[in-house]
Amino acid sequence: MTSICIFLGSNPGADPVYARAARDMGRELAVNGLTCVYGGSDTGLMKLLADSALEAGGRVVGVTVQALRDKEIFHPGLTELHVVTTMNERKALMTELSDGFVALPGGVGTFEEFFEIYTLSLLGFHSKPFGLLNINNYYAPLDALLDHAEREGFLKAPHRNAILRADTPADMVKLMMDR
């Protein structure tokens, strides 16, 4: 494993624990020699992730679309910034550049990116590990929904158990590297 794609909020979140987790994740990636792939933003948790990885000597690759680049602020210190035309191209490139995927707390965009990776895995389009970093029990409601889907016969147990889970960035990076 040489790179991990991180999905996370472009906002900082309400609790400072999320900011600490983003910083810790960036540092963990760098000290383990893993390239950080993410959306390229210079705001919220995304900025903290990139800053900490870069400060620890890591490589950080941003992937965005031109429409967002025209209206948002992107991190000026990235190792690389790829600009593509569509969101589908963006997600495809992020998938291509990454050996695994982790979702930190975030909003609808984070959920969408995570579920696309999850779905592509279940359909056999990739066999890369993916996980939820459950900072402050952020993903407990999602776990409850997935448990409900399994009980109701809409999600098979092996598919339910495909998601890696950890409560700290260090534990998540170890799980990913052990795959």
**Domains of the chain (ranges, CATH numbers):** 3-177 (3.40.50.450)
**Going edge to edge, which strands form the sheet with 3-7?**
80-84, 60-65, 35-38, 3-7, 101-103, 130-133, 164-166
**Which pLDDT does position 76 carry in this prediction?**
86
Global pTM? 0.96
Q: What percent of the chain has pLDDT over 70?
A: 98
Whether 42 contacts 69, CB under 8 Å: no
Distance CA 126, CA 160 (A): 16
Query: Which residues 6+ apart lie within 8 Å of 170 measured at CB?
Result: 24, 28
pLDDT (mean) for 60-81: 86
Point out which residues pair with 61 in neighbouring strands. 37, 80
Res 55 pLDDT > 90: yes
Distance CA 152, CA 177 (A): 33
- The sign one gets for the Cα dihedral 74, 75, 81, 87 is negative
Distance CA 130, CA 146 (A): 15
Q: What percent of the chain has pLDDT over 90?
A: 92
pLDDT (mean) for 21-38: 98
Distance CA 75, CA 81 (A): 9
**Residue where the block lists tokens 């399994």:** 150
pLDDT tens column, 98-149: 999 999 999 999 999 999 999 999 999 999 999 999 999 999 999 999 999 9
pLDDT band at residue 75, thresholds of 50, 70 and 90? confident
Q: Nearest to residue 155, comparing CAs of 125, 104, 115? A: 115
